[in-house]
């Protein structure tokens, strides 16, 4: 190799290494918003398949199966959906890949998965809880000023008021729980407690108890990206605390707004149709 050419390659490599080092030492500095904190206002959405299953999973024909002549076949209730009812593959968002269930809780998760059609709260339009609300197929919007932060979700019209002063324990458990937030540098940290035990993490039957505490972290990593992390602590269900992590993306353009998806009325026939004087076949 020509010495001059080799020197040019070496110089280029050193330049790239120095640039990479400088980038590693200079984390993204988000534009300032209310109160001098990063401006998180906007419509955000996850772009992954975590709502199907937060653990790594291959593509499969359906979420619900029945016994087939050779191998399991899609449940008859979803058979007509074909590819629309199938599950796309996902790399998972759980740190380490696997949720650390206790043996008893894992058996219940497997039962939930087998009875997904009867048990998934999303099917009945129940509120999704935290963290699931943040990675459903629909977007959510963050509104914040110097003194208040509000999360509004397109799914089911769910909302979260992020309290900036801890009022103490919540008087009652609820679907979305109580959220108390604070800033740690450029990261918004939200502790969520007092959620009931009726929400799931995904459509794959992953669940929790009413003892769960979630600590969320929202960190700007680019002009239109947030790094979202949630630490899950629930000693009644898991052998240790565990974490999920993913990117959230700010929507741009004409569709950067929430639409209405108040789905309660869409499930009335499913939940109450059998009460008709003459039920539909």
Domain contains 217: yes
**Domain contains 262:** yes
Give the pLDDT confidence score for residue 90 in this predicted structure.
Answer: 96
Report the pLDDT value the prediction gives residue 23, as an integer from 0 to 100: 46
CB 188 within 8 A of CB 206: no
- With contact defined as beta carbons under 8 Å apart, do 82 and 43 qualify? no
The residue segments making up the domain with residue 77 are: 57-90
Are 242 and 173 part of one and the same domain? yes
Which residue ranges of the chain lie beneath pLDDT 50?
5, 22-24
Of 228, 230, 250, residue with least CA distance to 44: 250
Q: In the chain, how many domains are there? A: 2
The reply to whether 36 and 85 lie within a common domain is no
Q: Residues 170, 133: one domain?
A: yes
End-of-domain residue from the set 71, 90, 109? 90
What is the predicted pLDDT for the residue at 10? 55
Residue 243 lies in a domain: yes
Which class for 13: exposed (0-12), middle (13-18), buried (19 or more C-beta within 10 A)?
exposed
Which pLDDT does position 215 carry in this prediction?
A: 98
* Count of residues in the chain: 281
CATH code of 214's domain? 2.40.128.20
pLDDT at 15: 57
- Structural domain contains residue 5: no
Whether 200 and 219 map to the same domain: the answer is yes
Assigned domain for 12 exists? no
Of 47, 66, 90, the one marking the end of a domain is 90
Alpha-carbon distances, residue 181 vs 1, 31, 200, 271, 273 (angstroms): 60, 20, 23, 36, 42
List CB contacts of 92: < 8 A, sequence separation 6 or more.
50, 53, 54, 55, 56, 57
Residues 74 and 184 placed together within one structural domain of the fold: no
pTM (2 d.p.): 0.87
- Integer Cα distance of 232 and 228 in angstroms: 13
Confidence (pLDDT) at 14: 58
Q: What pLDDT is recorded for position 150?
A: 98
Residues 158, 219, single domain; the answer is yes
Question: Does a structural domain hold residue 188?
Answer: yes
Q: Which of 90, 106, 141 is the last residue of a domain?
A: 90
Taking the C-alpha atoms of residue 221 and residue 67, their distance in angstroms, rounded to an integer, is: 46
Residue 20 lies in a domain: no
Q: Is the dihedral of CA 72, 78, 82, 84 positive or negative?
A: negative
Please tell me the predicted confidence (pLDDT) of residue 180. Answer: 98
Tell me whether residue 16 is in a domain: no
Q: pLDDT value at position 3?
A: 60
Clarify whether residues 103 and 61 are in a common domain.
no
Task: Read off the tokens for 68.
Answer: 């087939």
Q: Which residue, 46, 20, 61, is CA-closest to 246?
A: 46
Same structural domain for residues 159 and 234? Answer: yes
- 67 with 156, same domain: the answer is no
- Same structural domain, 62 and 51: no
Q: In this structure, are 37 and 97 located in the same domain?
A: yes
pLDDT of the residue at 1: 53
What is the rounded CA–CA span in Å between residue 29 and residue 219? 10
CA distance 262 to 24: 44
Clarify whether residues 141 and 241 are in a common domain. Answer: yes
């Amino acid at each position: 190799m020509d010495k001059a050419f080799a020197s040019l390659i070496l110089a280029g490599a050193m330049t790239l290494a120095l640039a990479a080092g400088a980038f590693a030492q200079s984390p993204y500095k988000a534009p300032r918003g209310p109160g001098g904190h990063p401006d998180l206002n906007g419509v955000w959405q996850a772009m992954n398949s975590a709502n199907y299953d937060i653990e790594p999973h291959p593509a499969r024909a359906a979420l619900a199966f029945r016994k087939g002549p050779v191998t399991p076949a899609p449940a008859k209730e979803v058979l007509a959906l074909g590819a629309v009812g199938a599950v796309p593959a996902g790399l998972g968002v759980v740190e380490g890949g696997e949720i650390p269930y206790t043996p008893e809780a894992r058996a219940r998760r497997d039962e939930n998965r087998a009875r997904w059609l009867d048990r998934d709260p999303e099917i009945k339009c129940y509120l999704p809880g935290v963290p699931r609300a943040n990675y459903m197929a629909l977007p959510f919007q963050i509104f914040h000023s110097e003194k208040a932060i509000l999360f509004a979700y397109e799914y089911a019209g769910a909302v979260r008021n992020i309290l900036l002063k801890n009022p103490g324990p919540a008087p009652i458990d609820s679907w979305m729980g109580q959220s108390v937030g604070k800033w740690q540098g450029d990261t918004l940290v939200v502790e969520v407690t007092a959620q009931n035990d009726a929400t799931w993490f995904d459509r794959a039957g992953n669940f929790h108890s009413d003892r769960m505490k979630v600590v969320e972290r929202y960190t700007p990593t680019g002009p239109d990206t947030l790094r979202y992390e949630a630490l899950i602590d629930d000693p009644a269900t898991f052998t240790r605390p565990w974490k999920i992590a993913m990117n959230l993306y700010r929507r741009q353009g004409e569709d950067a707004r929430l639409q209405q998806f108040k789905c309660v009325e869409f499930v009335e026939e499913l939940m109450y149709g059998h009460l008709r004087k003459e039920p539909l076949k």
